[in-house]
Amino acid sequence: MALEKVDKVWMDGELVDWDRATVHVLTHALHYGTGVFEGIRCYDTKRGPAVFRLRDHLGRLFRSAQIYMMEIPYSIDELVVASKALIRANGLRECYVRPLAYLGFGHMGLNPLLAPVNVSIAVWKWGAYLGEDCLENGSRVQISSWKRHDPNIIPANAKATGQYVNSGLAKIEAVKGGYDEAIMLNPHGYVTDGSGENVFIVKDGVLFTPPTHAGILEGFTRDTVITIARDRGYEVRETDLVRSDLYTADEAFFTGTAAEVTPIREIDDRRLGSNGRGPITKELQQTFFAVVRGEIPEYERWLDLVE
Ligand code: PPE
């Protein structure tokens, strides 16, 4: 996705000009992947721009930092205020919000405990993650030959920058093979996530999604969709899935902050029953977009107004 410049970036407590939002080449995180981050979306609603589940995402940022023993020198409240101030400063009504805590400049060598912690927040306009066509007609997906890391190699429930080299390998293989996205299995052969999304399938009207122990990132979009689906009377089971479960699904879709709810129409060249965006996928996708745009009062608790 080619970035479109905005005015300001928040860096360690200050709003700096976009062109000056730079770091030294000896920033620890550039060399060793020592950062934790979040991806959040702000949507336009009739009450003005609202950030979706802002505090939940920032809570996960702090849990990721806890795992890697990074002391973030701000509170969640301070980062809430900073995120909203940044969105206002850039005059954006809809955007993606990317908080990042990273080990900075001053110490080289592997010991992360010696390096300073810097924090930045950037916002930019980000449209459909896999493209508009995939949102409407579904994506073509490949099961990657690259496995997701075991939790005793890299904890999947922390959102650390370095672990995304693994997703990057899967994404390269998928796009070089002509697919839109990859799904990764864990070392035991069970389904985990897409390169940057959680995965759901639908069979006989029941939704299935891999459980936390499979080595997924516990996505807030996943949680949102599970909540919406159960509220609408669907049964949702968090259970281990193998690749043939995916091949024989009636419907499948991805969830993620960037990907929102993106249908899957083909997995390893097998067309799914729905052959496009399935009916339950469509219902949940439409409900999701209504929820994030503040059109369903029942879920307004998830919206954090910018103004
Ligand atoms: N699994 C992975 C591996 C993942 O990276 C994400 C988010 C999710 C699941 C969904 O989590 P949630 O956003 O809380 O529903 N991936 C972020 C980064 C994407 C990127 O390309 O950068 C995102 O969607 O913001």
pTM here is 0.97
Paired residues of 151 in beta bridges = none
* Burial class of residue 110 (count of CB atoms within 10 Å of its CB; 0-12, 13-18, 19+): exposed
Confidence class for position 1, pLDDT limits 50, 70, 90: confident
Q: Is the pLDDT of residue 275 over 90?
A: no
Q: Is 98 in the pocket of ligand 1 (CB under 6 A)?
A: no
Q: Is 34 in the pocket of ligand 1 (CB under 6 A)?
A: no
Cα separation, 100 vs 119, whole angstroms: 6
The predicted structure's pLDDT at residue 219 = 98
Ligand 1 atom nearest to CA at 223: 15
Mean pLDDT of the region 4-17: 98
Residues with active-site annotation: 159
Mean pLDDT of the region 279-285: 98
Confidence class for position 167, pLDDT limits 50, 70, 90: very high
Residue 57 Cα to ligand 1 midpoint, Å, equals 11
Q: Is 256 in the pocket of ligand 1 (CB under 6 A)?
A: yes
Mean pLDDT of the region 239-260: 98
DSSP readout, the chain? -PPPP-SEEEETTEEEEGGG----TT-HHHHH--EEE--EEEEEETTEEEEETHHHHHHHHHHHHHHTT---SS-HHHHHHHHHHHHHHTT-SSEEEEEEEEE-SS--SS-GGGSPEEEEEEEE----TT-HHHHHH-EEEEE-SSPPPPTTTS-TTS-BSTTHHHHHHHHHHHHHTT-SEEEEE-TTS-EEEESSSEEEEEETTEEEE--GGGT----HHHHHHHHHHHHTT--EEE----HHHHHT-SEEEEEETTTEEEEEEEETTEEPTTSSS-HHHHHHHHHHHHHHTT--GGGGGGEEE--
Looking at ligand 1, which residue's alpha carbon is closest to its atom 9? 197
Confidence class for position 147, pLDDT limits 50, 70, 90: very high
Looking at ligand 1, which residue's alpha carbon is closest to its atom 20? 196
Q: Is 217 in the pocket of ligand 1 (CB under 6 A)?
A: yes
Residue 212 Cα to ligand 1 midpoint, Å, equals 15
Q: Which residues neighbour 272 within 8 Å (Cβ) at sequence distance 6 or greater?
A: 249, 250, 251, 252, 264, 265, 266, 278
Confidence class for position 104, pLDDT limits 50, 70, 90: very high
The predicted structure's pLDDT at residue 123 = 98
Mean pLDDT of the region 3-25: 98
| pLDDT tens digits for range 17-28 | 999 999 999 999
| pLDDT tens digits for range 72-93 | 999 999 999 999 999 999 999 9
The predicted structure's pLDDT at residue 2 = 86
| pLDDT tens digits for range 192-221 | 999 999 999 999 999 999 999 999 999 999
The predicted structure's pLDDT at residue 237 = 98
